Structure 1
Amino acid sequence: MSMPFYVAPEQQMKDRADYARKGIARGRSVVVLQYDDGILFVADNPSRALHKISEIYDRIAFAAVGKYNEFEQLRLAGVRYADVNGYMYDRSDVTARGLANAYAQSLGAIFTEQTKPYEVELVVAEVGDDASSDQIYRLTFDGSVADEHGFVAMGGAADAVATALKEGYRDGESLSEALKVAVHALQQQDAERVLEAEKLEVAVLDRNRDRRLFRRLAPSRIDELLARSADAPAAPEAPAED
């Protein structure tokens, strides 16, 4: 009679974590940065249909890397969470912190209880009335949560992207300056690759808008921002495409 196969719990957790990290590393990166008027999201993503960046609620947005079907399930769950809480209580009661806690519980349960962990990494961000009240939370596959400030890089080659962000990012940058820093950082994934507007998914949480602060930027708007000279006087920001 054969003995039952035994794997120590510590080894199981390590194997699951390695599996999830490898899956996440295969994907292209996403970066999230604060700029003077809000929070900028930039994804290396040529698809116009499969979004890595999405609106969750009035002042809250979501960015993800990893397996699309898994983070899309989490996005939909987040929208439901926000809608139910906003309806039952008040719209102001829906916060990025509450959503991050809900995601952390779900991801933690999946990681410990299911055979296969989710191969995802998330950012939940909420824009405040000023930069000091912005909230950016990064969640990993095991439900860990980090409160981030300034910028976040996740996905494939995240270390190289984060290093470039650290070198180029400055507090209080304009939208065009922050976008240039983000695109330069994303290009560190592959030195031979140039990221054009059509290969980028870009959105912002703009604190100067009313109520719904999330907006996507069209390729023409991305090109316009990237073409601006860093030392030229800043022109008034034209409305971006919803």
Structure 2
Amino acid sequence: MSIPFGYVSPEQQMRDKADYARKGIARGRSVVVLQYEHGILFVAPNPSRALHKISEIYDRIGFAAVGRYNEFEALRLGGIRYADINGYNYARDDVTARGLANLYAQNLGQIFTESLKPFEVEIVVAEVGDSSDEDHIYRLTFDGSVFDETGLVAMGGQAEAVAARLKERYREGLPLAEALEAALFALTEPGGERSPASQLEVAVLDRNRPHRKFQRLIGPKLERLLAGQGEAAPAAEPEAPEAPGTPEAPVTPGTSETPGLPPTAPEGDIDTGSNG
């Protein structure tokens, strides 16, 4: 039997596709995911305020990705639809990171084998449990392979070098500020400058939050963490002494608000729960 002109063996096709996908993923910036004292931390250099690499999928589940934005955004939206449908039809506890990882593995594997061009993506699906032993971090590659990671994972860019630097600083049970410091140390090349807070995308799955565990860290809260002050609130300013003889302002019955002053919101950052 003669071999047709232009024939390429299946093995060579798979190698070519894998090389193509790896080169595309390596061109992007790395993303780091690691466990800390109260949950799971996601950190990514990202100057864009609109195109997120890190997002919420469901109550306890977060998503991080590197590679082509349009491709991993399609996967993220598919995961949200899967989670919403299963949570509605069965129970919210039935939506797990393992189920999502299996769904993504099937989709990525089918695209890799059947399509001419594979997805140039690598993703992490993480779920926070009631304790650190119940946390799950799954890393999925462009060909649908699934890796159950423990403690930390780095993907995209120079992932091996980033992971090596992260292991130098990582230990179990790190406080949030120290975990963020370890992530930034890993993401910064030796001799390079760290990304400013405005060019960082940082989020956590905090097991101590009620209901939805995902929270983006932005603004003053992120700046305090970068300054090494942890999650402590800034010290309150001392009250000015009351002038003698000044009558107290009347309080409207049934309310605790002083007349003439607008109602105030609770202190701290407000998490809108946006999925990005």
The two structures share one fold, judged by TM-score above 0.5 = yes
Closer, same or farther: CA 191–110 of 1 in aligned 2, 3 Å: farther
Comparing 106-115 with 217-226, greater Cα deviation is found at 217-226
Higher Rg of the two aligned structures: 2
Cα RMSD, aligned residues only: 1.6
Equivalent residue, structure 1, for 2:238: none
Kept in 2, the 8 Å contact 1:197–1:220? The answer is no
Q: Counterparts of 1:16 and 1:117 in 2: how far apart (Å)?
A: 6
Counterpart residue identity of residue 208, structure 2: N
Kept in 1, the 8 Å contact 2:163–2:186? The answer is yes
Q: Report the Cα offset of residue 46 of structure 1.
A: 1.0
Equivalent residue, structure 2, for 1:166: 167
Give ranges in structure 2 of 5+ residues lacking alignment: 235-267, 272-276
Q: Counterparts of 1:96 and 1:240 in 2: how far apart (Å)?
A: 27
Q: Report the Cα offset of residue 191 of structure 1.
A: 3.5
Q: Counterparts of 2:211 and 2:74 in 1: how far apart (Å)?
A: 25
Kept in 2, the 8 Å contact 1:36–1:173? The answer is yes
Give ranges in structure 1 of 5+ residues lacking alignment: none
Q: Report the Cα offset of residue 236 of structure 1.
A: 4.2
Kept in 2, the 8 Å contact 1:28–1:155? The answer is yes
* 2:215 counterpart of 1:208: no
Q: Report the Cα offset of residue 79 of structure 1.
A: 0.1
Comparing 161-170 with 2-11, greater Cα deviation is found at 2-11
* 2:16 counterpart of 1:15: yes
Closer, same or farther: CA 191–26 of 1 in aligned 2, 3 Å: farther
How big is each residue's C-alpha offset from its partner over 1:80-122, in whole Å with a ceiling of 9 and x where there is no partner? 0000110111100000000000000000000000000000000
Equivalent residue, structure 2, for 1:199: 199
Q: Counterparts of 1:237 and 1:207 in 2: how far apart (Å)?
A: 20
Residues 125-140 of structure 1 mapped to structure 2, 5 A cutoff: 125-140=126-141
* 2:44 counterpart of 1:78: no
TM-score normalised by structure 2 residue count:
0.82
Equivalent residue, structure 2, for 1:52: 53
TM-score normalised by structure 1 residue count:
0.94
Equivalent residue, structure 2, for 1:220: 220
Q: Counterparts of 1:6 and 1:192 in 2: how far apart (Å)?
A: 47
Q: Counterparts of 1:110 and 1:13 in 2: how far apart (Å)?
A: 12
How big is each residue's C-alpha offset from its partner over 1:48-85, in whole Å with a ceiling of 9 and x where there is no partner? 10000000000000000000000000000000000011
Runs of 4+, deviation exceeding 4 Å: 234-241
Q: Report the Cα offset of residue 128 of structure 1.
A: 0.2
Q: Report the Cα offset of residue 223 of structure 1.
A: 1.7
Q: Counterparts of 2:32 and 2:7 in 1: how far apart (Å)?
A: 41
Q: Counterparts of 1:225 and 1:23 in 2: how far apart (Å)?
A: 33
SS at match of 1:24: helix
Q: Report the Cα offset of residue 240 of structure 1.
A: 5.0
Residues 174-193 of structure 1 mapped to structure 2, 5 A cutoff: 174-188=175-189, 191-193=191-193
How big is each residue's C-alpha offset from its partner over 1:134-184, in whole Å with a ceiling of 9 and x where there is no partner? 000000000000000111000001111100111110100000000000011
Closer, same or farther: CA 154–221 of 1 in aligned 2, 3 Å: same
Q: Counterparts of 1:101 and 1:42 in 2: how far apart (Å)?
A: 24
Number of equivalenced pairs: 236
Q: Counterparts of 1:101 and 1:29 in 2: how far apart (Å)?
A: 23
Kept in 2, the 8 Å contact 1:215–1:240? The answer is no
Equivalent residue, structure 2, for 1:30: 31
Q: Counterparts of 1:14 and 1:30 in 2: how far apart (Å)?
A: 25
Equivalent residue, structure 1, for 2:42: 41
Q: Report the Cα offset of residue 4 of structure 1.
A: 3.0
Q: Report the Cα offset of residue 219 of structure 1.
A: 3.3
Q: Counterparts of 1:109 and 1:122 in 2: how far apart (Å)?
A: 16
Kept in 1, the 8 Å contact 2:184–2:194? The answer is no
Residues 62-141 of structure 1 mapped to structure 2, 5 A cutoff: 62-141=63-142
Q: Report the Cα offset of residue 222 of structure 1.
A: 1.7
